[in-house]
Structure 1
């Protein structure tokens, strides 16, 4: 595991973009699971503004780590955020974009999207393998859409699961731990003072961290990078 700390959310985004561009350039094709959230939004803006012509988008294939079960035009849709801030601004073929269809029945969509991963990704050791999974972490220690109260779903035997948000009850579709930890590389983008306590507990392997799904991100490859701003890293 590697920890990289930067001054601000914006500098985290810039550093991550540099990392991502190098990763894409090093591979003939690259399959990436995206995250929602405020920091990825800045990443997408940075990619669109400064890297739209540096990246060969024909070899980039995009998926999502989780999605709210809403229409793709809904303001809460992770797909819509990505569409608005990145996809509409770069020349990526539509056939390279594999969204979670949040408008579908959640349980059925979890099965369908799991099948998409089986069909589109390289199968390694009997499981579909992403080149990169990008993750965020909530103030409660959740990641993707696996929450502390649904942490058992991390170990589900399927590629994807439907999960209810513990407060709002909103249903989401999420990758499971077996897919996240099977990725060649995993990158956390975590910013803000509200994340500092959980970052400290997880990165210092404190016993309390076992209650947080983000602590279960331990890729088999060993390639895990935490991109943090100074606020999120302030208790380390």
Structure 2
């Protein structure tokens, strides 16, 4: 049985600061080597980038960090739905992150070709762990429908795919996305998950209270790793989530 550590803080901002401190401690321990970080998108990521811009804006803190993406919507980088767009606007430009350390998914290109290109890039740059490229840290959120990265309940085959990145489709909008697959997520040295805000309260309590064996992308990932930590302001009775 795998257990996921849950760290509680007084509010959402303090939760995201704690996650950032954990990330930077890991990065500082590898100052003589590149630190490969996979970023997620969404509202929580935007809040995180704002904190980085305002409180962690010395570029020296980030000098050995190389930024990749967990997933991306198949839109241009100028589109406000782009995960890269917000990272660039809220963090990379204001802080002065080295452009040579930023590796975006080109969402405007043909999705399947871009998934293949990005897979090759990641495989070439990252160290190998049992045949899978290994990120030093992966930042994740969990959707209210329990999707993780851009792996939805209609795409659960991507949890065990041999591809490194693949094309998924949002079940409600039909929007195509490029996403890490489950094996790449699970290979990461460290997985940091932010679950903050009122809308995530029911989700987190549902994950804790679940008695059935329903497999969703979130429960699959959490049940197959011992490297994940959840940062939240949502009170629970336990500081660990257990998954079989």
* TM-score normalised according to structure 2 size: 0.89
Flag the structure with more relative contact order, 1 or 2, with Cα contacts below 8 A and sequence separation at least 6.
2
Matched, 1:215 2:225: no
Match of 1:226 among 221, 230, 238: 230
Instruction: Show CA shifts across 1:142-195 (max 9, x none).
Output: 010001121122111110110010000000000000000000000111122332
Instruction: Show CA shifts across 1:64-97 (max 9, x none).
Output: 1000000000010000010011001123211111
Answer yes or no: is the 8 Å Cα contact 2:127–2:133 preserved in 1: yes
Answer yes or no: is the 8 Å Cα contact 1:181–1:218 preserved in 2: no
Answer yes or no: is the 8 Å Cα contact 2:59–2:95 preserved in 1: no
Structure 1: give runs of 5+ residues left out of the alignment. Answer: none
Matched, 1:45 2:40: no
Match of 1:119 among 108, 124, 134: 124
User: What secondary structure does 1:31 align onto?
Assistant: strand
2:241 alignment partner in structure 1: none
Answer yes or no: is the 8 Å Cα contact 1:64–1:100 preserved in 2: yes
1:109 alignment partner in structure 2: 114
Aligned equivalents of 1:184, 1:109: Cα separation in 2 = 25
Instruction: Show CA shifts across 1:20-62 (max 9, x none).
Output: 2212111132100001122221211111212222744331100
User: What secondary structure does 2:191 align onto?
Assistant: strand
Match of 2:146 among 141, 148, 154: 141
How far off its partner does 1:221 sit? 6.6
Aligned equivalents of 1:120, 1:181: Cα separation in 2 = 18
Answer yes or no: is the 8 Å Cα contact 1:182–1:219 preserved in 2: no
User: What secondary structure does 1:181 align onto?
Assistant: helix
Answer yes or no: is the 8 Å Cα contact 2:156–2:216 preserved in 1: yes
Match of 1:99 among 89, 101, 104: 104
Answer yes or no: is the 8 Å Cα contact 2:24–2:61 preserved in 1: no
User: What secondary structure does 1:217 align onto?
Assistant: helix
How far off its partner does 1:14 sit? 1.5
Match of 1:16 among 11, 14, 19: 19
Aligned equivalents of 2:91, 2:192: Cα separation in 1 = 19
* TM-score normalised according to structure 1 size: 0.91
Would you say how many aligned residue pairs link Structure 1 and Structure 2?
A: 233
Aligned equivalents of 1:227, 1:33: Cα separation in 2 = 17
User: What secondary structure does 2:63 align onto?
Assistant: helix
Match of 1:2 among 2, 5, 25: 5
